Amino acid sequence: MSKEAVREFRALVNADASLQDAVRGTALNLAQLVALGKAHGFEFTPQELEAIVDETELSELELELVSGGAGVNCGSGGGSQG
């Protein structure tokens, strides 16, 4: 688990349109983003993900998600979205 894994995952997302769609599908739910990262071979915690997002400039995708009103969701992702 590391912040470097978060950086590498973000770079992969920024370069892969299908992965960008998957990220959009998470509605920025941290638990779902961590699971998506893990599914692609990246190990990091929700806290590491938040720290990197707080420390760095947002990508075009991240800006799109935030401006769309998504906001970061710290929930478990088990409930329905409405």
Q: What is the pLDDT of residue 18?
A: 94
Angle ∠(44,48,49) on CA atoms, nearest 5: 85
Helices (H) and strands (E) in the chain, counts: 5, 0
Q: What is the pLDDT of residues 46-57, one digit of tens each?
A: 999 888 878 877
8 Å CB contact between 6 and 49 = yes
Residue 63: both structure tokens together = 């800006």
pTM, whole model, 2 decimals? 0.71
User: Which among 57, 54, 30 has a CA at the least distance from the CA of 44?
Assistant: 30
Q: What is the pLDDT of residues 16-75, one digit of tens each?
A: 999 999 988 887 788 999 999 999 999 999 999 888 878 877 777 777 776 765 454 444
Q: What is the pLDDT of residue 28?
A: 76
